Amino acid sequence: MERKVVIYSQETCSPCQAEKEWLKNNNVQFEDRDIRTHSQYMDEVVALGASATPVTVITEEGGSEEIVMGFDKERLSVLLGI
């Protein structure tokens, strides 16, 4: 099943860096959206109701969407089948 993984992050966020490394180590492809370099990404993350990073959006092939606030390894593992 195809899924799209987008992580909203910022360079100075250590949980963001840890999550990206964890995703890479688990062979999960993702799109990294740095909220500090693109104001559009900041607007998107605020619209999701987030006040901190990382925020991960997982969109399944059928269009269903899960949003994970923070680096919640347990929830990400379940959602990504890791």
Domain residue ranges in the chain: 4-80
Note the pLDDT of residue 1: 58
Closest alpha carbon to 53 in 41, 63, 64 = 41
Tell me the two tokens of residue 40.
Answer: 């559009």
Beta pairing partners, 33:
8
**pLDDT 10s digits, 58-72:** 998 888 999 999 999
Distance CA 74, CA 54 (A): 15
Q: Answer yes or no: pTM beyond 0.85.
A: yes
Of the chain, the percentage scoring pLDDT greater than 70 comes to: 99
Note the pLDDT of residue 62: 85
Distance CA 37, CA 1 (A): 31
Write out the H or E segment, with its range, that includes residue 11. none
Q: Among the CATH numbers 3.40.50.10140, 3.90.1640.30, 3.40.50.300, 3.40.30.10, which is that of 4-80?
A: 3.40.30.10
